[in-house]
Structure 1
Amino acid sequence: MRKWLPLTTICIGTLMLLVDVTIVNVALPDMAVNLHTSFSSLQWVVDIYALVLAAFLLGIGSFADRVGHRSMYVAGLSLFAIASAASGFANDATVLIVARGVQGLGGAAMFATTFALLNSSYTGRDRGTAYGVWGAVSGAAAAIGPIAGGLLTEHLSWRWIFFVNLPFAIAAIALCFLVLGTGSRHRAPLDPVGMVTFTVFAAALTYGLIRSNEAGWGDGVVLASFAGSLVMLVAFLACESRVEHPMFDLALLRNRVFAGCLIAGFVLSAAAFAYLTYASIWLQSVRDMSPVEAGLVTLPLAVAAFVTSATVGRLLHGDRSWLAIGLGIGLTGLGGLVVAAQLSGADVTWTALIAGLTVTGVGTGLAAPTLSSTAMSVVPLERGGMAAGAVNTARQLGFALGIAALGTLFAARIQSSLTAHSFPRASDASNEIAGGQAHAVLAQAPIDARATTEHLIHLTSVDGLQLTALVAGVLGVVGGLVAGALIRPAARPSAQEVADDVSPTRHTLPV
């Protein structure tokens, strides 16, 4: 059993960093009350973690080649633990948001070294087994988060969703020095301009989407954020096409399979998980469910993802991976459409989510475990780490931007529904309802109008959630069709053909 201790050590870090993407979902209403947060602050608590994780993943991978993968993994675990403690002790939203950002940086350091550590720890059949176990863990992690968060929030407090990371991080750090080799180091050139431009691009776009909830789409700061994001994206592409050792080699995008994997990774997180943040707010603050009950609502997704990954998913590799990915992403979208179809009327309850979440879970179990391995298999060996890092970056960026974009739709739909019913101060009330403070809106209503107010809160929040599920569903179905078409074997070039496409003057090292 000792030979599997390195895998255990790596999976502990992977489980922690991916669970923390979604574990805060069920704790948001308690955070809103305890910290007196706004809706945009709640979005940032969720978003900043995924955003930092996505923005620094590729860049940190290059730096890890210099300092050593084990050293970087230990540094990531340590930073993650410290930031988790700071998040748990946070006494206002600003401190929590900053700590979550630092936590994302630690998560990026862990995630960026995962494949290198697996490759250095295992060979042959054992390596295939290790990747299979790691894929199952990563595939189910996002679905486990709401359940774990619900249990901790209800029986302890929301702060324990962060404190619980500490013993696991300490155990993983100790195991690192006992069972992981130091590995080799390479003088991998860094790409600071690429790191900065990509980070600013993603941050500006996310900020503009979140700020638009409060200030409106015509706000000058919102427009400036979108303009700045576009400029940074152009600058990033220009930089990566000209620098000798880019953080991300744009020539890889000529590979249809690799491009399809990037699309699939982005859509998977955006379509399957982003709207669940707002479902959790609706379940707790409007339907008065406990954190545990709200977390358990996602159990069908978690179970379906795990069972599918362990049974059908493991059979769809190699030439059949296009089917697993394309069908899987499409099913996550179909699940969202089923949820949207079931959400109708003020009296709808949590049962409306079950069928759609089960379908989404099946899709997640098919697609998630094979994404990175498929991307790595169709690029030159020396770019395998870059390919895997790019897919994981796409997944986290999809979640971050999905949270921001769907949150804008969620709040806007609630506001338009309240306005249509001539509800007073509809703008402020919509942000409070969307931000998990529906009870505060109800408490402010005159006594003789509370029954009507409660009905409108139920009706408009369902309208908002229905729209987010509908948009996520359409995105998933379209994304699945596009990804499947790109990844199909008939369109797959060989690794040698990809190598021929890449400029021979470049010698990019794996990240």
Structure 2
Amino acid sequence: MNGSVTVFSTPREVAVTTASTSLSRSHIWLLTLSSMAVALVIAAMAALYTALPEIAADTGATQQQLTWVVDGYTLALACLVLFSGALGDRYGRRIMMVLGLVVFAVASAIPLFLEEPAWIIASRAVAGVGAALVMPSTLSLLTGGFPPERRGVAVGLWAGVVSGGAVLGILGSGLLLQIWSWQAIFLAMTVAGAVFAVAGCTVPESVDEQRPPLDFWGGITASTAVGAVVVAAIEAPIRGWTDPLVLGLFGTGIVAAVGFAGVELRVPHPLLDVRLFADRGFGSGSVSVAVQFLVAFGYFLLFVQFMQLIFGYSPLMSAVAMAPMIAPLIGISIFAPRLAERFGLRLPTFVGLLCVGIALILVSRTTVDSSYIDVLWPLLILSTGLGLCTAPATAAIINGTPPEKHGVASAVNDAAREVGAAIGIAVSGSILAVGYADRIAPALPALPEAARGPVEDSLAAALEVTEKAGPAAAPLADFAKEAFVHGAQQASLALGILTVVMAFVLGAWAPGRITGRTSSAGEAPVLVDR
């Protein structure tokens, strides 16, 4: 099996070679390895959330440096994933996955020897480059290696793992922090990357046999567009949404996106044929994926802080509290593509996003006195909604492109996720910060000058101040918690309203059930969108 090549054949040849729809051991192994590899690179996005306080204490990293420890990875991944998908199509998806895992493992090992903040940030950025090679390769290996009759289940499981990967990362890092230091997280990522790289050599190669020339100008303009938007989203909560740099970055992203579209419409072998977005399945699926990750990562930011600062949970317990969402998320994702095949993309997209939106609106009613059960059942509704709409959206993106371009289609799916996640964190964080600052403001004049800044900055800093001040500061701690909950309520409500609105928009845009109708005797069937 090692060294074999999967190419793309005519429909008649595919029908012959996939006559047997039962999965072989090689198919099961390919699905397992692809899912584990993508789970690793997604988990790495969120794995350091719970370790940032320890990293700051051990290395002296500033708040801005801590931000880039997390976001440097996301930025590199988002900028390069589209071009990486094209590299996989041309040179081979397996070799790109293995190469990406090697780069990821080597980069993750750097903080084990060099603990300075600059080195940690650099290592995370390089690991993001490796992750950009891995993500589109895993999905395109599945779509190229699985028979069409079984492809929906494979894509569904892959999409479920992607959506649950961030939770797995938070859970795993919380467990490691209980038994060792923050460096254990980097060691675990190094070992896992190395093991998966070796295992990746055992799966068959998949490549576009035509090997079209690479569209470098398309890659440059796409990376510039995505990078500018992501950096703007990262800097907006710190500098403000009207800061000249933030506005300039958003403007640069828009101009680069227009330039990308112009390039792709003119070159003979485009990196991404932008006309694909006119296809209702491809276009609505791409936007749906972006919205899903926008609200999911925006909510994760609120949830983890709520568990630790309001409920007083440890990093591990915060991750355990989020873990129940994995079961409905992955379980529903497995059969959700079949629902889309039967009823069309419209129904699972609308119902799924509507569930997510309702869950977030319910979360906005959470108070300081709420219990974990009050938070748990909206979390399960949210994960059910994501399970319904995630896999069908991914399948629609893949199905909207020819097989030889599945690497690029996978990259579009991944880029939509990363941009959505970055914007979701920025929007959620900004609304939370504004809401907290507005409510805490009346308490500031009565505080000593040295305490005003930390109390105004965040609840975490305010609790540190009140802990040092002793029992007399307990009313201030309670007031700060109420201010945080107010900001979290506003952020959840904004995310919920956005999701409900997008549920109706995408419900109208996404295609319904496709049926065959014969217009007259002897003529080919006509596809009708219902």
- Bin for the TM-score computed over the shorter chain: 0.7 to 0.9
Match of 1:429 among 436, 454, 461: 454
Give yes or no for contact 2:224–2:253 (8 Å, CA) kept in 1. yes
Equivalence for 1:390: 412
Match of 1:411 among 422, 433, 448: 433
The offset of 1:225, in angstroms, is 2.9
Q: Give the counterpart letter for 1:361 in structure 2.
A: S
Give yes or no for contact 1:415–1:427 (8 Å, CA) kept in 2. no
**Change in 2 beyond 3 A, CA 1:307/1:236:** same
Alignment pair present for 1:368 and 2:405: no
The offset of 1:32, in angstroms, is 4.3
- Secondary structure of the residue aligned to 1:489 is coil
The offset of 1:120, in angstroms, is 4.4
Equivalence for 1:323: 347
Distance 1:120 1:273 in 2: 30
Match of 1:486 among 509, 520, 525: 509
- Secondary structure of the residue aligned to 1:157 is coil
The offset of 1:140, in angstroms, is 2.9
Equivalence for 1:502: none
Alignment of 1:73-152 (within 5 A): 73-87=97-111, 91-123=115-147, 125=149, 127-152=151-176
**Change in 2 beyond 3 A, CA 1:47/1:173:** same
Q: Give the counterpart letter for 1:44 in structure 2.
A: W
Alignment pair present for 1:338 and 2:362: yes
Structure 2: state its 5+ residue gaps. 1-23, 518-523, 525-530
After TM superposition, the structure 1 stretch with the greater mean CA deviation from structure 2, 103-112 or 309-318, is 309-318
- Secondary structure of the residue aligned to 1:341 is coil
The higher relative CO (CA closer than 8 Å, separation ≥ 6) is in 1
Alignment pair present for 1:357 and 2:379: yes
The offset of 1:298, in angstroms, is 0.8
- Secondary structure of the residue aligned to 2:265 is helix
Give yes or no for contact 1:339–1:355 (8 Å, CA) kept in 2. no
Q: Which structure has the larger Rg?
A: 2
- Secondary structure of the residue aligned to 1:338 is helix
Q: Give the counterpart letter for 1:272 in structure 2.
A: A
**Change in 2 beyond 3 A, CA 1:448/1:357:** closer
Give yes or no for contact 2:218–2:263 (8 Å, CA) kept in 1. yes
The offset of 1:334, in angstroms, is 1.7
**Change in 2 beyond 3 A, CA 1:442/1:364:** same
Equivalence for 1:192: 216
Cα-to-partner distance string for 1:149-190 (whole Å, 9 max, x where unaligned) = 221222323332332123322222222223333756553322
Equivalence for 2:40: 16
Distance 1:427 1:106 in 2: 43
Aligned residues: 492
Give yes or no for contact 2:350–2:507 (8 Å, CA) kept in 1. yes
Equivalence for 1:458: 481
Give yes or no for contact 1:49–1:104 (8 Å, CA) kept in 2. yes
Cα-to-partner distance string for 1:205-236 (whole Å, 9 max, x where unaligned) = 33334434343445443343333333333333
Q: Give the counterpart letter for 1:429 in structure 2.
A: P
**Change in 2 beyond 3 A, CA 1:388/1:66:** closer
Alignment of 1:61-72 (within 5 A): 61-72=85-96
Cα-to-partner distance string for 1:10-61 (whole Å, 9 max, x where unaligned) = 2221111122233333334444444444544444333332332222111111
After TM superposition, the structure 1 stretch with the greater mean CA deviation from structure 2, 317-326 or 59-68, is 317-326
After TM superposition, the structure 1 stretch with the greater mean CA deviation from structure 2, 287-296 or 169-178, is 169-178
The offset of 1:264, in angstroms, is 0.6
- Secondary structure of the residue aligned to 1:257 is helix
The offset of 1:280, in angstroms, is 1.3
**Change in 2 beyond 3 A, CA 1:192/1:253:** same
**Change in 2 beyond 3 A, CA 1:271/1:439:** same
The offset of 1:328, in angstroms, is 1.3
After TM superposition, the structure 1 stretch with the greater mean CA deviation from structure 2, 268-277 or 119-128, is 119-128
Structure 1: state its 5+ residue gaps. 497-511
Distance 1:304 1:392 in 2: 22
Alignment pair present for 1:222 and 2:242: no
Match of 2:226 among 202, 217, 221: 202
The offset of 1:127, in angstroms, is 4.5
Equivalence for 1:474: 497
Give yes or no for contact 1:57–1:112 (8 Å, CA) kept in 2. yes
Give yes or no for contact 2:284–2:509 (8 Å, CA) kept in 1. yes
Q: How large is the RMSD of aligned CA atoms in angstroms?
A: 3.2
Match of 2:321 among 276, 282, 297: 297
Give yes or no for contact 2:228–2:252 (8 Å, CA) kept in 1. yes
Alignment pair present for 1:5 and 2:29: yes
Counting aligned pairs with the same residue, the percent is 27
